[in-house]
Structure 1
Amino acid sequence: MDEQQGPRERGARAEEARQVAARLHAEGVSGVLLTWVDNAGITRVKGVPVRRLEHAAAWGVGASPVFDTFLVDDSATRSRFLGGPDGDLRLHPDLDRAVPLAAQPGWAWAPADRYTQEGEPHPGCQRGFARRMAERAREWGLEFRCAFEVEWVAARAGGPAEEPDHPTQGPAYGMERMIDLSDCLRDLLRALDDQGVAVHQVHPEYAPGQYELSVAAEDPVAAADTCVLVRQTVRAVSARHGLRVSFAPAVEAGTVGNGGHLHLSPWRGARNLCHGGAGPHGLTSEAEAFLAGVLEELPALLAVGAPGPGSPLRLVPSHWAGVYQCWGRENREAALRLVTGSRGEESSAANAEVKCFDGAANPYLVTGAVIAAGLAGLAAGRTLPPEVHGDPATWPEGRLEQLGVRRLPGTVAESLAHFRRSALLREAMGEVLHDVLCAVRQAETELFAGSPPEQVVAATRWRY
Structure 2
Amino acid sequence: MGDGSRIADHVHKPQYLTTADGLADGATTELAAADAATEARLEWRRTGKRGCAGLQAVMFSTDGYAFPETYYLGAKRARDVVYRVLSAACEDGDLSIQEAIEAIEDIFRRNALNLYKLNVVNGSINHETAIVGKRVSLSSVEEDVLFVRIIWCDASGQHRCRVVPAGRFYEITRNKGVGLTFAAMGMTSFCDGPADGSNLTGVGEIRLVPDMPTLVRLPWSRHEEMVMADMQIRPGEGWEYCPRNTLRKVTKVLLDEFNVTMKAGFENEFFLRRKLVSNGVEMWIPYDNTNYCSTSAFDGASSILQEVYSSLKDSGIVVEQLHAEAGKGQFEIALKYILCTVAADKLIYARETIKSIARKHGLVATFLPKPDLDDFGSGSHVHLSLWENDQNVFMGSSKDNFHGMSKTGEQFLAGVYHHLPSILAFTAPHPNSYDRIQPDTWSGAYLCWGKENREAPLRTACPPGVPLDLVSNFEIKSFDGCANPHLGLAAIVAAGIDGLRRHLKLPEPIESNPSDHSSKLKRLPQNLQESVESLSADKVLHELIGDKLVTTAIAIRKAEINHFAKNPGALKDLIDRY
Q: TM-score, normalised by structure 2?
A: 0.74
1:284 is aligned with what amino acid? Answer: S
Supply the distance in 2 between the matched residues of 1:24 and 1:287 (Cα, whole angstroms).
48
- Report deviation, 1:80: 5.5
- Report deviation, 1:348: 11
1:374 corresponds to: 496
Tell me if the contact between 1:36 and 1:43 (Cα under 8 Å) persists in the aligned partners. Answer: yes
2:538 corresponds to: 422
Pair 1:459 & 2:577 matched = no
Supply the distance in 2 between the matched residues of 1:12 and 1:434 (Cα, whole angstroms).
37
2:389 to 259, 269, 280: 269
Give matches, 1:12-51, under 5 Å: 20=136, 22=138, 25-26=141-142, 28-51=144-167
- Report deviation, 1:255: 1.5
1:283 corresponds to: 405
1:62 is aligned with what amino acid? Answer: G
Supply the distance in 1 between the matched residues of 2:212 and 2:201 (Cα, whole angstroms).
31
- Report deviation, 1:461: 2.5
Supply the distance in 1 between the matched residues of 2:501 and 2:129 (Cα, whole angstroms).
41
2:547 corresponds to: 431
Tell me if the contact between 1:14 and 1:57 (Cα under 8 Å) persists in the aligned partners. Answer: no
**1:60/1:82 Cα in 2 relative to 1: closer, same or farther (>3 Å)?**
farther
1:74 corresponds to: 191
Supply the distance in 2 between the matched residues of 1:27 and 1:172 (Cα, whole angstroms).
45
Pair 1:138 & 2:255 matched = yes
**1:158/1:13 Cα in 2 relative to 1: closer, same or farther (>3 Å)?**
farther
Supply the distance in 2 between the matched residues of 1:27 and 1:152 (Cα, whole angstroms).
36
Higher relative contact order (CA 8 A, sep 6+): 1
Tell me if the contact between 2:275 and 2:283 (Cα under 8 Å) persists in the aligned partners. Answer: no
2:321 corresponds to: 201
Tell me the SS of whatever aligns to 1:245: strand
Supply the distance in 2 between the matched residues of 1:276 and 1:149 (Cα, whole angstroms).
24
Give matches, 1:216-227, under 5 Å: 216-227=336-347
Q: TM-score, normalised by structure 1?
A: 0.91
2:287 corresponds to: 167
Give matches, 1:55-66, under 5 Å: 55-66=172-183
Tell me if the contact between 1:265 and 1:272 (Cα under 8 Å) persists in the aligned partners. Answer: yes
Supply the distance in 1 between the matched residues of 2:276 and 2:550 (Cα, whole angstroms).
39
1:305 corresponds to: 427
Query: Which stretch of the first structure deviates more once superposed, 276-285 or 60-69?
Result: 276-285
Supply the distance in 2 between the matched residues of 1:216 and 1:194 (Cα, whole angstroms).
15
Supply the distance in 1 between the matched residues of 2:130 and 2:459 (Cα, whole angstroms).
45
Pair 1:112 & 2:229 matched = yes
Pair 1:155 & 2:267 matched = no
Tell me if the contact between 2:564 and 2:571 (Cα under 8 Å) persists in the aligned partners. Answer: no
Tell me the SS of whatever aligns to 1:236: helix
Q: Which has the larger radius of gyration?
A: 2
**1:5/1:271 Cα in 2 relative to 1: closer, same or farther (>3 Å)?**
closer
Tell me the SS of whatever aligns to 1:202: strand
2:526 corresponds to: 410
- Aligned residues: percent identity? 29
**1:107/1:345 Cα in 2 relative to 1: closer, same or farther (>3 Å)?**
farther
2:242 is aligned with what amino acid? Answer: C
- Aligned-pair RMSD on alpha carbons? 2.6
2:304 corresponds to: 184
Number of matched residues? Answer: 452
**1:5/1:226 Cα in 2 relative to 1: closer, same or farther (>3 Å)?**
closer
- Report deviation, 1:116: 1.3
2:447 to 320, 325, 329: 325
2:68 corresponds to: none
- Per-residue displacement from partner, 1:201-236 (whole Å, max 9, x unpaired)? 111111100011011111111000010000000011
Supply the distance in 2 between the matched residues of 1:241 and 1:207 (Cα, whole angstroms).
20
2:11 corresponds to: none
**1:31/1:335 Cα in 2 relative to 1: closer, same or farther (>3 Å)?**
same
Query: Which stretch of the first structure deviates more once superposed, 103-112 or 161-170?
Result: 161-170
Query: Which stretch of the first structure deviates more once superposed, 334-343 or 359-368?
Result: 334-343
1:231 to 337, 351, 358: 351
**1:349/1:385 Cα in 2 relative to 1: closer, same or farther (>3 Å)?**
closer
- Report deviation, 1:109: 1.2
Query: Which stretch of the first structure deviates more once superposed, 253-262 or 11-20?
Result: 11-20
Supply the distance in 2 between the matched residues of 1:204 and 1:430 (Cα, whole angstroms).
39
List alignment gaps of at least 5 residues for structure 2: 1-94, 102-125
Supply the distance in 1 between the matched residues of 2:334 and 2:213 (Cα, whole angstroms).
22
Tell me the SS of whatever aligns to 2:259: coil
- Report deviation, 1:313: 0.6
Supply the distance in 2 between the matched residues of 1:348 and 1:202 (Cα, whole angstroms).
26
2:483 corresponds to: 361
1:120 is aligned with what amino acid? Answer: E
- Report deviation, 1:451: 4.5
1:442 to 538, 558, 569: 558
Tell me if the contact between 1:305 and 1:362 (Cα under 8 Å) persists in the aligned partners. Answer: yes
Supply the distance in 2 between the matched residues of 1:21 and 1:245 (Cα, whole angstroms).
33
